[in-house]
Amino acid sequence: MSAKGGLMMGTKKVGALPSRQERTTIIITDFLILSSAFFHIVKTSAIFLILVSRGFPRLTPEHTGLNMEPDRILMLNLKNRLLKREPQRPDAPHADDTERLRIATCVVLLEVAKSDDEFGSLEKAAIAAILQREFQVSQEAVEALMEVAKSHREDSVDLFEFTSLINHHYDREEKIKIVEFAWHVIYADRELNRYEDHFVHKLARLFRLQHEEMIEAKLRVLEKVRASLPRT
């Protein structure tokens, strides 16, 4: 203990004021901490502004923690596309495969229905029934799907981009099933004209199917049509 009663550690008293060098070090350290915090705030704000300008990603159960049914998710995605009015092509790499295939299938069936330059209520009802049954979605979702499919078809040159997508993802049996759906749509009004017949032949070629496979699909549909007719 010194004569003045202060505890000494080396040459410096415990509790003594920091030196000028120590005060400078403290100021610099505080400045660096504040600068780092400010940098993170600016970075977070910039990311937020970018997300706002580009549109937030689609909500999914994984993002929200909500157990949303597929039908509800499909409706949100389709409505987002309609509201944006942006012609997102169904072969865009960021699009969901299931959604893209649904759009492509719907485009094909709508083309079948319009191949004779007539799109009646019977054909529309047949397409809606097929989509609702096969995709397990509501009538409202089917209506939205038809609108999006119509928009994509108007923005495309031909059917190739849709049939090539189907060829890439579907096996032979699934493509035959789509051809069978096409025959169902055609025979919704119990009539077949040469334009409709020509279109299904073209569709089968685009799907790389054999002529016999297309005819067998047609016969299966005709059998169901005859079975549904009232007996005389």
Token pair in block for residue 210 = 């054999």
In this structure, the strands spanning 8-9 and 12-13 are: antiparallel
Taking the CB of residue 228, how many other CB atoms lie within 10 A of it? 9
CA distance 22 to 44: 33
CA distance 68 to 101: 21
Token pair in block for residue 13 = 């008293």
- Determine the pLDDT at residue 231: 74
- DSSP readout, the chain? --TT---EETTEETTPPPPHHHHHHHHHHHHHHHHHHHHHHHHHHHHHHHHHHH-PPPP-HHHH-----HHHHHHHHHHHHHHHT----TT-TTS-HHHHHHHHHHHHHHHHHHTTS---HHHHHHHHHHHHHHHT--HHHHHHHHHHHHHHHHTSSSSHHHHHHHHHH--HHHHHHHHHHHHHHHGGGT---HHHHHHHHHHHHHTT--HHHHHHHHHHHHHHHHHHSPP-
| pLDDT single digits (tens) 106-127 | 999 999 998 878 888 899 999 9
Cα atoms in the 13 Å half-sphere on the side-chain side of 209: 28
- Determine the pLDDT at residue 61: 42
Per-residue pLDDT in tens (0 to 9) along the chain, 232 residues: 444 444 333 444 444 555 666 666 667 666 666 766 676 677 677 666 665 555 544 434 444 333 445 454 444 454 444 434 344 454 444 446 888 999 999 999 999 998 878 888 899 999 999 999 999 989 999 999 999 999 998 888 889 999 999 999 999 999 999 999 999 999 998 889 999 999 999 999 999 999 999 999 999 999 998 888 877 6
Note whether 181 and 126 are within 8 A (CB).
Answer: no
For the entire predicted model, the pTM comes to: 0.60
Residue written as token pair 């699009």: 95
- Find residue 12's DSSP bridge partners: 9
- Determine the pLDDT at residue 27: 73
Taking the CB of residue 17, how many other CB atoms lie within 10 A of it? 8
- Determine the pLDDT at residue 83: 35
